[in-house]
Chain A
Amino acid sequence: MRTGDIERLFRDEAGRVLATLIRLVGDFDLAEDALQESFKAAIEQWPATGIPANPRAFLVSVGRNKAIDRLRRGILFRAKQRDLEIEAAISAQIAPTDDEDTVFGDDILRLIFTCCHPAFNIEAQVALTLRAVCGLSTEAVARAFLVGEETMAQRLVRAKKKIRAAKIPYATPGPAMLEERIDGVLAAIYLVFSEGYAGTSGASLMREDLALEAIRLARLLDALMPRMPAVAGLLALMLLHHARRAARTTADGDIVLLEDQDRGLWDQAAIAEGLALVDRALRVPGRPGAYAVQAAIAALHARARHHAATDWPQIVGLYEVLLRLYPSPVVELNHAAAVAMVDGPARALALVDALDARRTLAGYHLVPAVRADLLRRLGRRDEAVAAYRAAIAIAKLAPERRLLAKRIAELG
């Protein structure tokens, strides 16, 4: 047995064990401390005894006992009525055994809904989810947000205080709230993915670890709530985008655009999984979800053997569905780019100019970047160069700026 095996096991189990401990001990902080202590005990014991047949049950049971110990020690000093009540409650709880997978499933679902409760802002939701559900260290969560560890630790402490002070329930929301709450959870997961797919700043384009965490969360949610088409839609969307990761950059970290990507590098297993999920999400009667429609667009790209074989008319049609059901300026921009492939750059430029005039996407480098590409295709060289320069001025990632500079160089 290697330390690496134990560490991997901890990463895999942390979320579920913590979720169950929170239910058993009724307190987020106490459960977190208990989890750390049970990991410590495992590291001490397992090299000699080997990993037990049911490591999760071991970790829950040790954690539960550590929490009781801690409360008893606290009671000696403070003799608090509330602690006595908690201790009695914990002692009465029975930890789940091996075959109670549904119990663990329900616990982790409760934890996800607690972490993504709308009483937190989205940054706090994501931070709590990465820390508690994904088992990332505070330092790793801080790195994901590009903030210092101290800042992140404070943010997490504030969020956990709010759980207690406002009594945010540790529960899966009832039917009346479920849909709104799932949308919130999915938004948080998608934010994690987007940050991993194309960071908002920094030297490299992708941070694969974050994209993988988001996919892992969505898979977990999909397994626990298989009848929720929105979950399947988001998972499909992420898988179909993630499938292109190896083709999206050169060895030097330069961006390779969709049209130039080596499609042989696309991850066919991820594509197959994504395509099946899109079908499942869209087969549900009623208005299709925003993620499912976006996933359907990604599916059309994934199905095209080469760029020229892309079904652009259908992609334009799907963007029009999105614009009707879930309008947003970013969707408008993507729609315009797809229109260029069907009706030519002149019509697309009119759409982008109209969008640009409304200034709703001011500061988003892809508006001038798309404009520049359209102007270039129309042979309006000087205007194209000016638009590329405008895009470089506001692009936040180094690879994006390099791509835009290359375009200017090509125009001579």
Chain B
Amino acid sequence: MQYLLLIYENEAEGAARDAAAMSAMMSEYGAFTQSIVQSGNFKAGDALQKTSTATTVRVRGGKTLTTDGPFAETREQLGGYYLIEAKDLDEAIGIAERVPSAKTGSIEVRPIFVYG
């Protein structure tokens, strides 16, 4: 079973981190990623650029409507993701709670749809 761990954090708070806090966070993420690669749970993962770089596309009545910014303004923004392999929701939750941002933001755990 695959799960997408969506990492939500408040961008403004993230940007306000000083260099020392930033590098501590980076090494924490490095160690976490390394550990789930080794345990075989890691499938993919990336950090996203800030929502100010986002563009939203909709097609309505055959007409493309392109607008700036993320789909919805929220208190926390999608900042990255991991795609993991886990035997069930509890294993996925166990991994999600180890994502460094779980302490400051929120991690949404979404099962991947399996066709057929």
Contact = CB atoms under 8 A, between A and B. Distances in A.
A169 B94 contact: no
Contact of B89 (A168, A174, A176): A168
B88 interface: yes
Contacts of B87: 167, 169
Interface in B65-116: 87-90, 93-94, 109, 111, 113
Contacts of B109: 166
A55 B93 CA distance: 39
A177 B90 contact: yes
Contacts of B111: 165-167
B48 interface: no
Contacts of A9: none
Contacts, number: 27
A125 to B, nearest CB: 15
Interface residues of A, number: 12
25 contacts: A117-B89, A119-B89, A165-B111, A165-B113, A166-B89, A166-B109, A166-B111, A167-B1, A167-B87, A167-B88, A167-B89, A167-B111, A168-B88, A168-B89, A168-B90, A169-B87, A169-B88, A169-B90, A171-B88, A171-B90, A173-B90, A174-B90, A176-B94, A177-B90, A177-B93
Contact of B94 (A117, A167, A177): A177
A177 B96 CA distance: 13
A173 B89 CA distance: 11
Given A167-B111, A169-B90, A173-B90, 17 more contacts: A117-B89, A165-B111, A165-B113, A166-B109, A166-B111, A167-B1, A167-B89, A168-B88, A168-B89, A168-B90, A169-B87, A169-B88, A171-B90, A174-B90, A176-B94, A177-B93, A177-B94
Contacts of B88: 167-169, 171
Nearest to B91: A169
Interface size band for B: 10 to 19
A361 B18 CA distance: 40
A173 B88 CA distance: 12
A173 B97 CA distance: 15
Most buried by A among B1, B89, B94: B89
A177 B90 CA distance: 9
Contacts of A177: 90, 93-94
Nearest to A113: B90
Nearest to A173: B90
A172 to B, nearest CB: 10
Nearest to B90: A169
Contacts of A168: 88-90
Nearest to A177: B90
Closest CB pairs A-B (n = 8): A169-B88, A167-B88, A166-B111, A167-B1, A169-B90, A168-B89, A166-B89, A167-B89
Interface string A159-185: 000000111110101101100000000
A171 B87 CA distance: 12
A117 B90 CA distance: 9
B112 to A, nearest CB: 10
Interface in A93-146: 117, 119
Contacts of B89: 117, 119, 166-169
A119 B94 CA distance: 13
Interface string B1-39: 100000000000000000000000000000000000000
B98 to A, nearest CB: 11
A177 B89 CA distance: 12
A238 to B, nearest CB: 28
A89 to B, nearest CB: 16
A165 B1 CA distance: 10
Most buried by A among B90, B109, B111: B90
Nearest to B111: A166
A177 B93 CA distance: 10
A165 B89 CA distance: 10
